[in-house]
Amino acid sequence: METVEYILDENHVATVYLNRPPYNPLNTQLYQELANLFEELEKDPLVRAIIITGKGDRAFAAGADINEMMNLNGAEMLEMSRVSRAAYDKVEAINKPVIAAVNGLALGGGCELALACDFRICSSNTKFGLPEINLGIIPGGGGTQRLPRLIGHSKAKELLYFGEMIDSERAVEVGLVNKSVELEDLLTEATNWAEKLAGKPSIAMQMLKKSINQGTSVDLKSGLDLEAACFGNAFASEDRKEGMQSFVDKRKPQFTGR
């Protein structure tokens, strides 16, 4: 891989870097490599939590690679959209928790990539934005769908219609990010979160993520049915037995991922 790389630590946390500094623009190659990497991470039992961040301190990802996009015809643009959507969907659907550690600019497709993650922690120098309207287009990587579901229609329309950037303080205020920290503390904080998540029982975590992600996009009865099925799967795990027994024994559980 040329445009993404990752490190797996001893605590089962994989840190994925977007590797096109200084601004990490998102092109077709990066989208394809990111999707392929997440396929590998999903299958790797040693990986229990994932962090995505950008190389350097200027940008998480400053958007799609306009130099690539402006030379594409309609059919080629549709193919790029297909590849990018597959990457965003894979990040969102992977059966492990994903944290976006957002540094610097997160614009357009970069903001959309952060939206596909379970959590977003940003540095105080971060600027978020979906400026596509100013280019005569609209977001094509989930911005019009994931953002309203996250922060509500009115606030999402404010960001989407005006196409203006917001700072980290405003991002926390509207609920776009979970937490803002200083740049030098960003990866430390994201790693702390990831290590806590990696220590949770894997099957229960998978079922929890599936129940939330899939259940909130259907009617209530269907969502409750899905929750019941996921609950059953988690209850049948060995980790459920260990979790309950450790509670009775008043000791720390030793989860095995089974």
Active site residues: 112, 132
3-class secondary-structure state, position 166: strand
Which tokens sit at 80? Answer: 């790029």
Q: How many CB atoms lie within 10 A of CB 66?
A: 13
Q: Evaluate whether 69 touches 61 at the Cβ level (below 8 Å).
A: no
The sign of the dihedral angle between the CA atoms of 188, 113, 79, 134 is negative
Q: How far apart are CA 95 and CA 41, in angstroms?
A: 10
Q: Which long-range contacts (CB under 8 A, 24 or more apart) does 130-134 make?
A: 130/159, 130/160, 130/163, 131/63, 131/107, 131/163, 131/164, 131/165, 132/108, 132/163, 133/160, 133/161, 133/162, 133/163, 134/163
